[in-house]
Amino acid sequence: MTKVSMTVNGKAVSGEVEGRTLLSTFLRDGLGLTGTHVGCDTSQCGACVVHVDGRAVKSCTIFAADVAGATVKTIEGMANPDGSLSTLQQAFQDNHGLQCGFCTPGMVMASAAFLAENPTPTEAEVRHGLEGNICRCTGYHNIVKAVLQASGQDVSKIAAE
């Protein structure tokens, strides 16, 4: 076991991990941040996406020890400081961009990182940007709409699904 320290959602944290402990496991089991979901064992679903030093990362694909000293943000750190939903989260709610909600933390984190790189994307760019995230419920249409709304674009003419 080795001690690992990092900043998570603005707080300095540390814990004992094995060399094989995944970041997703450390966040969920070590820190109790269960908003980061684990939906596969194959690095495909994207439910576990968090930000590491501002970049979207599938937290099931990296070891916690390899993130020592990094700044990590999870879905628990996405709301506004007063606890209200962020613009992006509100857009998911407004557009029914979630149903069961299992994929949603990863979708929100991946979308936030995507928008930081591409603040006014086209619909096709959003679909391409979220290719690494699987949703079994929504058919993606309303998720794409939510991301477009969060980017400040008028989605009123895009039909609901």
Site string for ligand FES, 74-113 (x = CB under 6 A): ------------------------xxxxxxx---------
Q: Report CA dihedral (66, 69, 71, 76) to the nearest 10 degrees.
A: 80
Residue 81 CB, shortest distance to ligand FES, in Å, is: 27
Count CA within 13 A, CB hemisphere, residue 146: 28
Burial class of residue 65 (count of CB atoms within 10 Å of its CB; 0-12, 13-18, 19+) = middle
In the complex with ligand FES, which residue's Cβ is closer, 120 or 160? 160
Query: Is the CB of 146 or the CB of 154 nearer to ligand FES?
Result: 146
Helix (H, G, I), strand (E, B) or coil at 154: coil
Note whether 47 binds ligand FES by CB under 6 A.
yes
Examine residue 25 and tell whether it contacts ligand FES (CB under 6 A): no
Tokens of residue 91, six digits: 């857009």
Q: Does 9 bind ligand FES (CB under 6 A)?
A: no
Judged by CB under 6 A, does residue 38 bind ligand FES?
yes
Tell the smallest beta-carbon distance from residue 103 to ligand FES (Å): 3
Q: Does 58 bind ligand FES (CB under 6 A)?
A: yes
* DSSP code string of 28-62: IIIT--TTS----SSS-S-TTEEEETTEEEETTSS
Q: Which residues bind ligand FES (CB under 6 A)?
A: 38-40, 43-48, 58, 60, 98-104, 135-138
